[in-house]
Structures are given as C-alpha cells and as structure tokens.
Amino acid sequence: MPKGYIIGHITVKDPEAYKVYVERDTPILEGYGGRFIVRGGASEAPEGPMKDRHVVIEFPSFEDAKRAYHSPEYQEVVAIRHATAESDIILVEGV
C-alpha cells in the first residue's frame, strides 16, 4: 500500500505564537501514524516562488494522512497556523 504525505510550505508571521501550533500539532499527527521526515532546514527554490519553511509528514497510507488532516483535533490547531503563518498544504499519495 502506498504511503501518504502531508506537505506544507509555510512562511511564519508570528514565531512565538507559531510555537504553540507546533507543540500541539505534533502529538496529534504522530497519533495518526505520522512521522516528520522534513521539518524546516535548508532549502532552495530553483523554480517558482518559495515559502520560508517546508514540512513533510509521512503516514502509513494516503487514507491515514487524510484522516489526520481532517480530524477534529487537528482542525482545531489549524486555526493557530492560519493566525500565525501563511501556508500551502497538500495531501499526496506516494508511489
């Protein structure tokens, strides 16, 4: 079964408040089987615009990634991210 991924491209506007999002989202996503494989770090954009921060969370399946993202507990903390950062989030199935 192909793995699933949540991929985020983020520019943080309020770093102190964003820390609350990170503290709260981590146990939720890990509870759905998520494993952070990229969380910040050096990056470059040889094509197209780029945000400041990139996150890739791997899940056992695409269904698990969707279940985690759409869960009520995660959607509650999404409001914190929306208030503290600009983000593009995609859910994708691996190969």
Backbone angles phi, psi at 11, to 5 degrees: -120, 115
10-residue averages of pLDDT along the chain (95 residues): 96 95 96 96 90 96 98 96 96 96
The side-by-side arrangement of strands in the sheet containing 85-93 is 35-39, 53-59, 4-12, 85-93
Q: What is 4-42+51-93's CATH number?
A: 3.30.70.100
Q: Where are the domains of the chain?
A: 4-42+51-93
- pTM reported for the whole predicted model: 0.93
pLDDT at position 84: 96
